[in-house]
Each structure stands twice: as structure tokens, then as C-alpha cells.
A and B are shown apart, each in its own frame.
Chain A
Amino acid sequence: MRAGLATSVTLHVLVLGWGLVNISAPASFEVDDVEALPVELVTAAELTQIQEGAKDAPKDGPSSVAPTEPPEPDPDAVNIGNQEKDQSTPETETQKAVEVEEARLPDPTDVPLPRPAPREEPTPVVEDTPEPEATPATEIAPEPEPKEEVVEDPVEELITEAEPETASVPEEVTEEPAPEAEPEPAPEETPKNVQLPDQLPTPQARPERPQAQTAKTPERKKEETQQAQSSATQEETEEKSDEVASLLNREQGSGGGSKANNQQASAGGSRTTTGNTLTQSEMDSLRGQIQACWSIPASAQGEVGLKVSVQFQLNQSAQLEGKPRVTSSSGNRQLDDSAVRAVARCGSQGFQLPADKYDSWRDVVVNFDPSEMFR
């Protein structure tokens, strides 16, 4: 017995030792880290049957999202002085105030008395005058007036000298428009004086306006249109997300669409609130019916990639109307013919199809694929 026990123990030790070494731990499965996807089951019917809803259905909520407002028209571009950029509205107000001052200043010019005074004292006046004159001269061609002033030599010389200065210092233009008016009217004499106070201050400021507008308003408009577009696309995406949400919603769609328009909430279904498309099972049924009538020619058996599309019309009792025709041939003449024959054979008896969905199966296109018959 001792021998038996000894052999048994050694046997067990050997087997266990071998097992511990060789079958110690099975290699663990390699598992990819896949994040869990929340899956919501939506039946095909729910997706295919969703419609706008019936006309008389009770309203489910507000009929539309906030009404869209037309974008405000772009404000006129405003330019102060020689500044290249348009200024915002508060600055234009200040400019207007300045203009008003300009308008007041000419008042004394109406009175002929002060005019001679500048002539008598050319030097001080000239120092002021060049600055305003410079701007119109560069920008507006049809101002002949300075040329008339040329009569006075010292003045003209000074003007030409002063021009570079004015170009470099544009801010002064607004500050001293009054003195400009005084030298200019002088050569033209009284009849023009009446017009001058109104016109003169304005051209100085305005000639730059049209330039600024032509140059910059298009850019602005683009920006604004872009903004408008982006806001429009945002609204669109919101609409789409609403639609997706309504598709995922288990509740049946009823009156009160969520589209962002102010029109009627619901278009209303014609007859039923169910979709008018064939469900998957109905399509399968039709497929099976046609398949039963189809005998595949020997030349096409086992071939892969052959496909025939046959189009045919059906009447109300689901019987073939007219002749089926091949819309896309497989290239195999016999297969095409067999498909047409299958449709003709089945169609003469009439298919089993839901009568209330006639709209969806009045015109049918069936794809014949012999490789799928042998699955």
C-alpha cells in the first residue's frame, strides 16, 4: 500500500506542477475599449409614418418659434473729417454740432463788411485759409474759385506753400472753416455770398462722404449680410434639431408644427395619419410574391453582380397595367427577359398589396439580383 500511495502522490505532484506551469492562466481576451452608445429603438413605422399631422388635431404647443424679424437697414456711413473709418453715431452728432457752428459763422460773412478786412490783412488770413482750401482742392475738381483768387499773388504763393501742411494736418479743417469762407467769397462778390454760407461749409465735409460711402459701405454690407447669413444658418440648424427631436419623440405628431414660420400650423393629412409608404414587411411580401414567379435562367445562376431593374405600373386592384420595362439592364439578355416575365406572370394575377397605400405602389421598380436568390 505504501508503494501505491507514494506513486500516487508523486503522480499528483507531477500533474499539478505541470498544470500550474502550463495552464496557469489563459490569455485574457483582447477587448477594445468601446464607449457605450445610448441607443434608442425607433421602429421603422414611426420613422416612415411621421407626417405633419391632421388639420383638426388639437394644438400641442406654440405654433411657431419666435417670429423672425427683418434685419435693420444699414445706417448711412458717416465720416468725420478726413478719417478713413466710419464713425459711430454719437460722433456724427458731435460733428453736426460743429457744423452748426460753421453755419453760424458764415452769418457774419453775409454782412459784406468784414470781407474787406481779410483782404487788407492778407497774411493772417492766408495762414488760416490754406488749410480748408487744400482739402477741397485735392478732392473736388470743379472748384474754380481758388483760381480766381490767384489774382492776389502773395495769397496764391502762400496757398501753394501751405498745401503740404494742410495735407499733413487734416484735423484743423473742422476747426476753422469760417475763415475759409471769408477769402473765397471776396473775389466772387455779393451775389454769390448768399449761396456761399450754405454751400461752402457743406462741400468741405461732404465731398469726402461719397468717397467714404463708395469705398466702405460694400464691406460693411458684406459683413452684415454674413452675420445675417450666419444667424440664418443658426436658425436652420435649430429647426433641424427640432425636427430630429420630433422624429425621435415617441409621441405621434399632431397639430402644431414647430417650424419657424408664421403660417398655418399643420398642413393636415389627406386621408390617414399613417405614412403612405410601404413598410418593410410589405415590401418583403411583394418581393416574395415576385420571387415565386421568377425562374432564373441557367446562364445567370451563380453569377454575382448582375442586377436588373424592372419598372411597372399597377392598377387599383394591384394588377399589372401596361407592360413592365427594364430600366437598367444587367447585360444578360436572358436574365432581363426572365425578370420581365416574372413580373408579367405575377402581375396578371394581381399582387397582394395594401389597398389604402395605392399611391405608394402605383409605380413600382423592382431590382432583381440572382445572387441573392441563393443565399
Chain B
Amino acid sequence: MEHDVSILGLFLQAGLIVKMVMIGLLAASIWTWAIIVDKTIAFKRIRSQLNRFEETFWSGQSLEELYRTLSDRKTSGMGSLFVAAMREWKKSYERGARSPISLQSRIDRAMDVALVREMDRLESRLGFLASVGSIAVYVGLFGTVIGIMTSFQAIAGSDSTNLAVVAPGIAEALLATAIGLLAAIPALLAYNKLTTDAGKIGSRLEAFADEFSGILSRQIDERASQQQRTAAE
């Protein structure tokens, strides 16, 4: 009996469980690479957005004007933080809120919420990469063990210990581990890279949030002292 030892042949000869394992691992690999491509592009875009926003923010432009231009369109990253804080600020003054302390805390909370939302978006689907990176190897190993087990069962039935009888079954079983490793290695690498990238972006956002919060609190204090002075006069 001549065995087709090409990769396709090995796949077609494999048992049902091994075949399913292989297909699953292949799908995981495809999805992993889709995430990797997607995230790399997204992070690149976000970084460029951050740079552009910081440029415009520190260019000395009036915050009111900036808010007017940004509030119309869909924002992300720092823009969304800025918009969230400014909206809270506007609302409070339009309704004539008196307490500057409560206003400060409300603005901070709004920015926190925006920050968490942004971080969620950044880190979405990275968990899948982590799962593939750690589990794909085991899944592949499971396929291999099952494949070797079935091939040994077949050997036990065929009364022959010739290596030619043993080899094809083991080869097709090992294919499962190979696919598992093929999926796991890039997933793990990409997960580490993307999480550090997301962390960097997140820290940049947090830094901006803190800075903006400081600017706003200074504004609030200035306005409060102004009000007190006008009230005294």
C-alpha cells in the first residue's frame, strides 16, 4: 500500500478528530493574522492621530474653537477625551453649576470613561491572540496524540511493526502539532507586540487626560476667583 505523503495527502488520510483539530487550528491562524493586520493598521492610524491632535492642541489655538471643530465629527483617541471633557465643562456652565470642586470631579470622571472606552477599543481582540498563542500548541498536541494513538491501534491490528506501516500515521499526526505551532508562534509574538503598543498609547492618553484635567481645573479656579471678585465688588 503506497501512502501519499504530501501535506494534502496526509491531511486527507487523517482521522476525523485530527482533521477537525487541523481545520480549527487553520481557522485560528487565519483569524490571528486578520487581527494582527487589523491591529497594526489601527495602531498606526491612532498614533498618527495622536501626533496630529497634540500638534493642534499645543499650537495655542482656542479650546472653544477646537471643540467646535471636533464635536461635529466622530473622534477617537485624544480627540474623544477632549470632546468628553469639554462637553461636561460646557454643560455645567450652561446650567449654571456653582461648585467648582464637583465640576472638576465630573470632568475627570467623564475623561476616565472616555479613556476606558478608548482602551477597550485598542485592546479588543488581543485576548484572542493570547488564547491562540497559549492554547494552539496544546490543541495541536492533542491532535497528534489522537493521531498517533489511532495509528498505533491500527498497527496493533495489522501485526506488522515495519516502520513503513508506522511512519505515515505518525507523520499525519505530527502535522497537527506543526499547524498548532504555526498558529501559536505568530499569535504570541503579535500579542506581546500589540499589548505593549496599546499600553504605550494608553499611557499617552492618560498623560493627556491628566494634563487637560490640570488645564481645566486651573480654568475653573480662575473663573471661581473671578466670580468671587465680581461678587465682592
Which A residues lie within 8 Å of B231 (CB)?
none
Q: For B7, B34, B36, which residue has the most chain A Cβ atoms within 10 angstroms?
A: B34
Q: When chains A and B are docked, how far (Å) is the Cα of A23 from the Cα of B4?
A: 13
In the assembled complex, which residues on chain B have CB atoms less than 8 Å from the CB atom of A1? Answer: 34, 38
Q: Does B116 contact A (CB under 8 A)?
A: no
List the A side residues contacting B30 at CB < 8 Å: 5, 8-9, 12
**Chain B residues with CB below 8 A from A25, complex form:** 4-6, 9
Q: Which residue of A lies closest to B27 (CB)?
A: A12
B34 contacts A4, C-beta separation under 8 Å: yes
- Let me know if A9 and B7 touch, CB within 8 A: no
Given contacts A1-B38, A3-B41, contact A24 B31 (CB under 8 A): no
State in angstroms the CA–CA spacing of A6 and B37 once bound together: 10
Neighbouring B residues of A20 by C-beta, 8 Å: 6-8
B4 surroundings in chain A (CB, below 8 A)? 25
Measured CA separation A318–B72 after assembly (Å):
111
- Please tell me if the beta carbons of B8 and A24 are within 8 angstroms of each other in the complex: yes
B1-25 vs A, CB cutoff 8 Å, 1 = contact: the mask equals 0001111110000000000000000
Chain B hits for A24, CB < 8 A: 6-8
Chain B residue numbers with a CB within 8 Å of A26 are 5
B164 CB to closest chain A CB (Å) equals 10
Distance of A8 Cα from B5 Cα, bound (Å): 27
For window 332-363 of chain A, which residues contact chain B by CB distance below 8 Å?
A: none
B31 — which chain A residues lie within 8 A by C-beta? 5, 8
Which residues of B114-150 have CB atoms within 8 Å of chain A's CB atoms?
none
Say whether, besides A19-B7, A20-B6, A25-B9, A4 and B26 are in contact (CB < 8 Å). no
B209 contacts partner chain A, Cβ-Cβ < 8 Å:
no
Set A9, A19, A23, A28: member contacting B34, Cβ < 8 A = A9
- 8 A Cβ contacts from A1-56 to B: 1, 3-9, 11-12, 19-20, 23-26, 28
Give the residue name and chain of the B residue nearest to A28 (CB): B5
> Within 8 Å CB of A8, what residues of B?
30-34, 36-37
**Chain A residue, CB-CB nearest to B29:** A12
- From A3, A11, A19, A28, B33 is in contact (CB under 8 Å) with A11
| Bound complex: CA A26 to CA B168 (Å) | 12
User: How far, in angstroms, from A7 to B9 measured CA to CA in the complex?
Assistant: 27
Smallest distance from the beta carbon of B178 to chain A beta carbons, Å? 11
User: For the complex, is B81 an interface residue (Cβ under 8 Å from A)?
Assistant: no
Chain A residue nearest in CB terms to B35: A4
Contact with A along B35-71 (1 / 0, CB 8 A): 1111101000000000000000000000000000000
Q: Which A residues are CB-close (under 8 A) to B33? A: 4, 7-8, 11-12
Whether A3 lies near B37 (C-beta < 8 A) is yes
Within 8 A of A (CB), among B57-115: none
- Structural contact, A5 and B34, CB atoms closer than 8 A: yes
- In the complex, what's the smallest C-beta–C-beta distance from B123 to chain A, in angstroms? 15
Interface-central residue, A5, A6, A9, A26, by most chain B CB under 10 Å: A5
Looking across the interface, which residue of chain B has its beta carbon closest to that of A20?
Answer: B8
Q: Closest chain A residue to B40 by CB distance?
A: A4
How far does the alpha carbon of A9 sit from the alpha carbon of B34 in the complex, in Å?
A: 8
Contact A4 B37 (CB under 8 A): yes
Q: Which residues of A contact B8 (CB under 8 A)?
A: 20, 24
User: Residue B37 contacts which of A7, A19, A23, A28 (CB distance < 8 angstroms)?
Assistant: A7
Q: Which residue of chain B lies nearest to A4 when distances are taken between CB atoms in the complex?
A: B38
**Which residues does chain B contribute within 8 Å of A28, judged by CB atoms?**
5
Contacts of A12 in B (CB 8 A): 26, 29-30, 33
Chain B nearest Cβ from A141, distance in angstroms: 87
Taking a contact as CB atoms under 8 Å apart, the answer to whether A23 and B5 are in contact is no
Q: How far is the CB of A339 from chain B (nearest CB, A)?
A: 50
A24 to B6, CA, bound (A): 4
What A residues does B39 contact at CB under 8 A? Answer: 4
The docked-state distance in angstroms from the alpha carbon of A1 to that of B33 is 11
Residues of B within 8 A of A4 (CB): 33-39, 41
- Cα–Cα, bound, A19→B29 (Å): 16
In the complex, the answer to whether B6 meets A3 with C-beta atoms within 8 Å is: no
- B187 → A minimal CB distance (Å): 12
**Roughly how many angstroms separate A24 CA and B33 CA in the complex, as a whole number?**
24
**Cα of A260 to Cα of B35 in the assembled complex, Å:** 90
Nearest CB of B to A46, in Å: 30
Interface pair A3/B7, CB less than 8 Å apart? no
Complex Cα spacing A24 to B171, Å? 13
Name which residue of chain B comes closest to A11, CB basis. Answer: B33
Q: CA–CA, A23 to B34, complex, Å?
A: 25
A35 → B minimal CB distance (Å): 15
A3 proximity list for chain B (CB < 8 A): 37-38, 41
Contact B7 A23 (CB under 8 A): yes
Bound form: Cα–Cα A25–B35 in Å: 32
| Nearest chain B CB to A26 CB, angstrom units | 7
**Alpha-carbon gap, A4 to B39, bound state (A):** 8
A-B residue pairs, 8 tightest by C-beta: A4-B38, A8-B33, A8-B34, A24-B6, A4-B37, A5-B34, A25-B6, A4-B34
5 example contacts (A-B, Cβ-Cβ < 8 A) are as follows A1-B34, A3-B37, A8-B32, A8-B37, A24-B7
User: Which residues in A have some Cβ–Cβ distance to B below 8 Å?
Assistant: 1, 3-9, 11-12, 19-20, 23-26, 28
19 extra A-B contacts, CB within 8 A, seeds A4-B36, A8-B37, A28-B5: A1-B34, A1-B38, A3-B37, A3-B38, A4-B35, A4-B38, A5-B30, A5-B34, A5-B38, A7-B34, A8-B30, A8-B36, A11-B33, A12-B26, A19-B7, A20-B6, A24-B6, A25-B5, A26-B5
| Interface, chain B (partner A; CB < 8 A) | 4-9, 26, 29-39, 41
